[in-house]
Structure 1
Amino acid sequence: MSQVPKRLRTGASAVAVGALLSAPMILGTTTTAVGAESHVDNPYAGATQYVNADWTANVVAEAAAVEATDPTLAQQMLSIKSTPTAVWMDRIGAIEGNVDGPGLKHHLDAAVAQKSGSTPIVLNVVIYDLPGRDCYALASNGELPATDAGLERYKTEYIDEIADLLDNPEYAGIRIAATVEPDSLPNLTTNLSEPACQQSAPYYRAGVAYALDKLHAIPNVYTYVDAAHSGWLGWDTNSVGAVQTFVEVAQSTIAGFASIDGFVTNTANSTPLSEPFLTDSSASINGMPIRSAKYYEWNFSFDEADWTADLYNQLVAAGFPATTGMLIDTSRNGWGGDARPTAVSTSTDLNTYVNESRIDRRIHRGAWCNPAGAGLGERPVASPSGYTASHLDAFVWIKPPGESDGSSTEIPNDEGKGFDRMCDPTYVAAKLGNQLTGALPGAPVSGKWFSTQFQQLVANAYPVIPADGTVDPTPDPTTDPTTDPTTDPTTDPTTDPTTDPTTDPADTSSPTVPAGLTAGTTTTSSIPLTWTASTDNVAVTGYDVYQGTVKIASTTTPSYTVTGLTADTAYTFSVRAKDAAANVSAASAAVTASTKAATTTPAGACKVTYSTNDWNTGFTGSAKITNTSSTALSAWTLAFTFPAGQQISQGWSAIFTQTGTTVSAANQAWNGTLAAGASVDIGFNATHTGTNTAPSTFTLNGTTCS
């Protein structure tokens, strides 16, 4: 007979039940100060991981809910109830605790209680509240605007508060692995054509650097910067730019490369760990490279094992230490179930061969929201074998299975989370090759419990979850094409004396002094600097940028943009060059430049970005409305005229009225307030008669928008 509880009380009782089921845990332990551990290379090695009792309670409740109709599925759920998952700090209110769960201190105290004797324990925490967060995904937009004021709040109300908690001596005996800002820096590689990402870019760089400075200063904290996934950055054109961004952000921190312990890929995504029947992305079918198939679009990296191996090699080549570790979020990339292929295709047609062979069953690799068919992946484990070239510190479950990626329909909320059509299963997405999104229906806003998704993930888990309370052994990893250790540039960072500048006493020559330091066109908060590259008897490795006498950044190129400055203020800068032997040049001639004065934009000023996705005689229209004035709006109405007789049939995020060719879109009750600098996204479905010319003018509350 099943041991699933028939019913759970809500609130504190449910949490208590989950806590009793969590493991490892020591009852009766008090939270007293624990001796700090030294900072190790791989924090997961030899350690347990923290089990979140709240997630456990959700799993137990879900098992109880399906017990009557599917007792096998219920038992499978109970088999994973004590799996460690990450704790997400997705807004300022999450630090103290909110309606979604207890705060960070609660989890820190619980981790202390779960620690067993001298065995280390790792608490996975996600740092996720950048100004202008997720500039390309409405479902996970955040509370802080991409402005100087937003950055200041991020620093003082978010990062500083988290760092103060983590630095408490009571928690010195816990290893804290921080996943730093999912999707942030990757957006700077691929989505800078998006106006919102252009606006967010300097705040992403400054915010991540500030977070790294604060977190790295705490010895028992380990920082892992998000590095997207193979289906996002796997192309050479994308990976090179991403690595350069990682280098620049690292060098802008106080500790440089040392401020980053590693990188985490596939966060909250479902890209497979490996493709067992597509092991060589360089192979061909009928004379055609399989990577040229429609599904892979010439991407060499088919899976996360490929991507982490490639990324590691590029990072080390760019200056990161060989000790840099990699994490893969395997919480939702198992792709088991009946749809999983059991053998390689025998077709000679390229696309058929790929589609019949791949275990990744998404309609497109860009389909990221609540994908139908996904399953739980490898369970969390330290130093997984068989992936030598990937330099994996661990498999981890950063995205707690069962938590939604975004709502299937528009749901008003106070968390800043918009309605992203990529989460709508009825939406035909141009970004996905004009296909439906493949998202599950009935999803709540991101981060909320989604029963349908969790049931699917357990049913489609790979490795399969036994229904007897045990975990299926890890399958043979030898199918992973990246297991050849010869691709590893070095397994021992101490064996290459060229990385230690003190071992070459012969090089005592400093680089030449940087010349021609010039300030470019300034903004109200930034000043771009350029200078002539220095020379050295061996090689110049970088430059340190000083504001007055204070070093504020490092860069490998003869240019740098200083951000986070005050409007209408004069600043003085100088630059010093350095080489691999730690020789530093004298300071360049100083340059003084002033930021622009802040301007007051007339009330009502606005900007509208309009786009469409067309098919036959129908289309979906999207409009991003931005209040570019310095005054908040308490209500708004957008007006425009269709030039070719288009007719709206359905709209969202606004109340649409159409009279002839004239359209007005008034705010809903929940989104009427539009702060200065803030944006709101609205959209509609409509028909046309063969011509779909865009409106030439938009007005907001009677004022013409740019």
Structure 2
Amino acid sequence: MVAAAPSAQAATTHVANPYVGATPFLNPDYVAEVNAQAAQDGSNGSIEAKVAANQTAIWLDRIGAIAGDATHRGLQAQLDAAEAQAATSTLPVLVEIVVYDLPGRDCAALASNGEIPATAAGLTQYESQYIDPIATLLGNSKYSNLRVSAIIEPDSLPNAVTNQSKPACTTATPYYETGVAYALNKLHAIPNVYNYLDIGHSGWLGWSSNMGPAAQELAKVAKSTPAGVASVDGFVSNTANTTPTEEPFLPNTTMQVGGQPLDSANFYQWNPYFDEHSYDEAMHASLVSAGFPSSVGMLIDTSRNGWGGSARPTALNSTPTTVGAYVAANKVDQRPFRGDWCNVNGAGIGYRPQAQPYGATDPVIAFVWIKPPGESDGDYPTAGHTHGDPHCDPAGTQTDGNGGTYPTDAIPGYDVPAGNWFAAQFQQLVANAYPALGSTTGGGDTTPPSTPAGLTVTGTTAGSVSLSWSAATDNVAVTGYNVYRNGTKVGTATTTSYTDTGLTAATAYQYTVSAYDAAGNTSTASAAVTGTTSGGGGGSAGCKATYAIANDWGSGFTANVTVTNTGSTATNSWKVTWSWGGSQQVTNSWNATVTQSGASVSAASMAYNGALAAGANTSFGFQGSYSGSNPAPTLSCTAS
């Protein structure tokens, strides 16, 4: 008797990050759309054609999409095309699909309502006519050498958290939960498929009242599958949205201007997460607390969140004296309202798809283009047709729930159904791309910088470690460096030196550095070095103060100072003083009265934070400007 050979699927290795070491599959249908538009657009066509070189996801947004139609390949034809590519590749080929056809789909909007009703019969149809055929195709052993990244049901479970006041969402939620669990279970059983659940975006779930419940909801659904949380490989944010990956000039959401924190601005409405990177890191921590392993990866859809063009700020404007004006002057997100989502006017293509954009230790494992740039978000009702969503009406408005009314910000003059090619939108996305597609700062650049060499500890104090390294090189230009302490990113630098502050005395810390360019390509990490802080405390007269730079953009920075009562009795007040070693000037502060005379700075406690019990601490912060270097100061603390 001869034993049967193991199947190819059984031998497939399920890797931690499918985007690392893979080559992207380019959807031929989307490539054809882009090339056709480029051919029509004359001199702009050569720039537009660059978009076709980037991977976009294949949307299976109806049962008929599995088989395909006259203009779009079905799933089997796409997989066959990927196999043809794999036959000539030395690397695994990665295919991205979007599973998007739940019963009662998109219950809080109208532009992308689905074909399956939110009923028990609809759930059966979803499972048997939609998920099962997809799983059968993906499970075919001839495709086992491919890697398939499956984006599972955008907008579904976030609606189960925030839109239960809408009857349609209340009705649909049980079918969302059961349907997503069924999809996870069927696809997780295929070793070369990787499941990523949608987590909305920072402007939706960023508030603590939404983030924690969302993590619990996602965990509840995952735990209902036989494999539990192992059925989920990670999460994706910003799907088809335009929230920026980073807000470079608004790094401190609680910084005070005019006596108010930045997150109190009408645009943010006390949401502490202004961009997707900070949101993803916070949501990752919340998901881990809810029971997911720390190995789950985060994806960010950067297909339409670049916000380039003439309206993008290029430097910090610190002159506004009110929160609203300060935010308006410095945010790259040009929407009038963060809730605007349909065919947003002024948006641009964002960072190109890339694995590990912040290095191997950051929870964000890849930038992806889930929404193909140039495909419409939806249409709106007119006298000619009743289908559509008022949020897509350029003349329409929407409210923020707090009495504010805002324009939809949809591109005026058009009414294009969801998923259809929208030429004017595509042209605008290309024109407003950031990094620009037609310049040396990113168009088509997929080459990472070289690995920084020569990382050295140049000095230590009781609370800081100073580092330097040799400059990396790049085919275009190195933009900056990420600095990691014990595997966690602690800062960035635009020069080849960095001082890490706020450390514990007599403690060893391990550091690595990676380089990045304007296209978002990041090098591998440097060889590690260890810096050990000197012994002794950093305080005197009953308190100590530690200093940490929160963000540094080359001409300015924000810093936080932690004050700890080291005495045996409570303090009534405290004062921290220091002298700058460079040209630093404090421009704004919060939670302390900060004054500067020449290089000397003093920070006195406020009425509400001067009293500290023995061992207790508080913190204050400030924003500063500088030229040249930005060395960390030595702090002195006195208490009474």
**Per the shorter chain, which TM-score range?**
0.5 to 0.7
Cα deviation 1:298-357 (Å, max 9, x = unaligned)? 011100001100011111122111110110000000000011011222211110110110
2:132 maps to 160
1:431–1:291 distance in 2 versus 1, CA, 3 Å: closer
Tell me, yes or no, if structure 1 residue 462 matches structure 2 residue 434: yes
The answer on whether the counterparts of 1:76 and 1:467 sit within 8 Å (CA) in structure 2 is: no
| CA distance in 1: counterparts of 2:353 and 2:112, whole angstroms | 25
| CA distance in 1: counterparts of 2:159 and 2:9, whole angstroms | 39
Cα deviation 1:1-56 (Å, max 9, x = unaligned)? xxxxxxxxxxxxxxxxxxxxxxxxxxxxxxx9899530000001011111011111
Cα deviation 1:340-382 (Å, max 9, x = unaligned)? 0112222111101101100000111100000000000011011
1:378 maps to 351
Q: Alignment partner for residue 328 of structure 2, among 355, 358, 376?
A: 355
Write out aligned runs for 1:332-411 (5 A): 332-345=304-317, 346-385=319-358, 388-389=361-362, 391-410=363-382
SS in 1 for 2:196: strand
1:372–1:449 distance in 2 versus 1, CA, 3 Å: same
Please, which moves more after superposition, 126-135 or 43-52?
43-52
| CA distance in 2: counterparts of 1:173 and 1:287, whole angstroms | 58
Which residue identity is paired with 2:220? E
SS in 2 for 1:458: helix
- What's the offset of the Cα at 1:485? 3.0
Which residue identity is paired with 2:395? T
- What's the offset of the Cα at 1:393? 1.7
Cα deviation 1:453-508 (Å, max 9, x = unaligned)? 00000000000112699525698476999995369xxx9xxxxxxxxxxxxxxxxx
The answer on whether the counterparts of 1:403 and 1:450 sit within 8 Å (CA) in structure 2 is: yes
Write out aligned runs for 1:409-448 (5 A): 409-410=381-382, 418-431=387-400, 433-441=404-412, 442-448=414-420
- What's the offset of the Cα at 1:410? 3.9
- What's the offset of the Cα at 1:431? 3.8
The answer on whether the counterparts of 2:482 and 2:489 sit within 8 Å (CA) in structure 1 is: no
Write out aligned runs for 1:262-301 (5 A): 262-301=234-273
- What's the offset of the Cα at 1:118? 3.3
SS in 1 for 2:59: strand
Tell me, yes or no, if structure 1 residue 62 matches structure 2 residue 37: yes
Write out aligned runs for 1:235-250 (5 A): 235-250=207-222
The answer on whether the counterparts of 1:283 and 1:289 sit within 8 Å (CA) in structure 2 is: yes
Tell me, yes or no, if structure 1 residue 108 matches structure 2 residue 79: yes
The answer on whether the counterparts of 1:411 and 1:419 sit within 8 Å (CA) in structure 2 is: no
1:386–1:167 distance in 2 versus 1, CA, 3 Å: closer
The answer on whether the counterparts of 1:276 and 1:480 sit within 8 Å (CA) in structure 2 is: no
The answer on whether the counterparts of 1:276 and 1:479 sit within 8 Å (CA) in structure 2 is: no
| CA distance in 1: counterparts of 2:229 and 2:424, whole angstroms | 42
The answer on whether the counterparts of 1:96 and 1:104 sit within 8 Å (CA) in structure 2 is: yes
1:193 maps to 165
The answer on whether the counterparts of 1:411 and 1:445 sit within 8 Å (CA) in structure 2 is: no
The answer on whether the counterparts of 1:406 and 1:423 sit within 8 Å (CA) in structure 2 is: yes
Cα deviation 1:221-243 (Å, max 9, x = unaligned)? 00000010000000000001100
Tell me, yes or no, if structure 1 residue 49 matches structure 2 residue 20: no
The answer on whether the counterparts of 1:386 and 1:480 sit within 8 Å (CA) in structure 2 is: no
Cα deviation 1:639-670 (Å, max 9, x = unaligned)? xxxxxxxxxxxxxxxxxxxxxxxxxxxxxxxx
1:264–1:311 distance in 2 versus 1, CA, 3 Å: same
| CA distance in 1: counterparts of 2:372 and 2:477, whole angstroms | 20
| CA distance in 1: counterparts of 2:320 and 2:17, whole angstroms | 44
1:477–1:182 distance in 2 versus 1, CA, 3 Å: farther
1:485 maps to 489
Tell me, yes or no, if structure 1 residue 82 matches structure 2 residue 57: no
1:291–1:470 distance in 2 versus 1, CA, 3 Å: closer
Tell me, yes or no, if structure 1 residue 208 matches structure 2 residue 180: yes
| CA distance in 1: counterparts of 2:279 and 2:375, whole angstroms | 25
TM-score by structure 2 length? 0.67
| CA distance in 2: counterparts of 1:173 and 1:412, whole angstroms | 48
1:424–1:365 distance in 2 versus 1, CA, 3 Å: same
| CA distance in 1: counterparts of 2:410 and 2:154, whole angstroms | 20
| CA distance in 1: counterparts of 2:292 and 2:434, whole angstroms | 33
| CA distance in 2: counterparts of 1:90 and 1:196, whole angstroms | 19
Runs of 5+ in structure 1 lacking a partner?
1-31, 492-706
The answer on whether the counterparts of 1:86 and 1:398 sit within 8 Å (CA) in structure 2 is: yes
The answer on whether the counterparts of 1:463 and 1:475 sit within 8 Å (CA) in structure 2 is: no
Percent identity for Structure 1 against Structure 2: 51
Please, which moves more after superposition, 150-159 or 422-431?
422-431
Cα deviation 1:512-542 (Å, max 9, x = unaligned)? xxxxxxxxxxxxxxxxxxxxxxxxxxxxxxx
| CA distance in 1: counterparts of 2:63 and 2:215, whole angstroms | 29
1:308 maps to 280
| CA distance in 2: counterparts of 1:220 and 1:257, whole angstroms | 17
| CA distance in 2: counterparts of 1:458 and 1:474, whole angstroms | 22
2:549 maps to none
The answer on whether the counterparts of 2:435 and 2:443 sit within 8 Å (CA) in structure 1 is: no
| CA distance in 1: counterparts of 2:39 and 2:175, whole angstroms | 45
1:518 maps to none
1:445–1:470 distance in 2 versus 1, CA, 3 Å: closer
SS in 1 for 2:53: coil
The answer on whether the counterparts of 1:83 and 1:380 sit within 8 Å (CA) in structure 2 is: yes
- What's the offset of the Cα at 1:81? 1.7
- What's the offset of the Cα at 1:286? 1.9
| CA distance in 1: counterparts of 2:178 and 2:157, whole angstroms | 11
1:34–1:151 distance in 2 versus 1, CA, 3 Å: closer
- What's the offset of the Cα at 1:100? 4.8
SS in 1 for 2:367: strand
Tell me, yes or no, if structure 1 residue 94 matches structure 2 residue 69: no
RMSD over equivalenced CA pairs, Å: 2.6
1:185–1:435 distance in 2 versus 1, CA, 3 Å: same
| CA distance in 1: counterparts of 2:11 and 2:309, whole angstroms | 45
TM-score by structure 1 length? 0.61
1:400–1:272 distance in 2 versus 1, CA, 3 Å: same
Cα deviation 1:164-190 (Å, max 9, x = unaligned)? 000001100000000000000000111
| CA distance in 2: counterparts of 1:295 and 1:400, whole angstroms | 27
SS in 2 for 1:140: coil
Which residue identity is paired with 1:425? P
Cα deviation 1:35-92 (Å, max 9, x = unaligned)? 953000000101111101111111111111110xxx1x22111122221100000000
Which residue identity is paired with 2:398? A
| CA distance in 2: counterparts of 1:324 and 1:464, whole angstroms | 31
- What's the offset of the Cα at 1:386? 5.6
The answer on whether the counterparts of 1:404 and 1:450 sit within 8 Å (CA) in structure 2 is: yes
Cα deviation 1:570-613 (Å, max 9, x = unaligned)? xxxxxxxxxxxxxxxxxxxxxxxxxxxxxxxxxxxxxxxxxxxx
1:647 maps to none
1:238–1:475 distance in 2 versus 1, CA, 3 Å: farther
1:82–1:486 distance in 2 versus 1, CA, 3 Å: closer
Tell me, yes or no, if structure 1 residue 255 matches structure 2 residue 255: no
Please, which moves more after superposition, 434-443 or 326-335?
434-443
1:478–1:484 distance in 2 versus 1, CA, 3 Å: farther
SS in 2 for 1:125: strand
1:480–1:237 distance in 2 versus 1, CA, 3 Å: farther
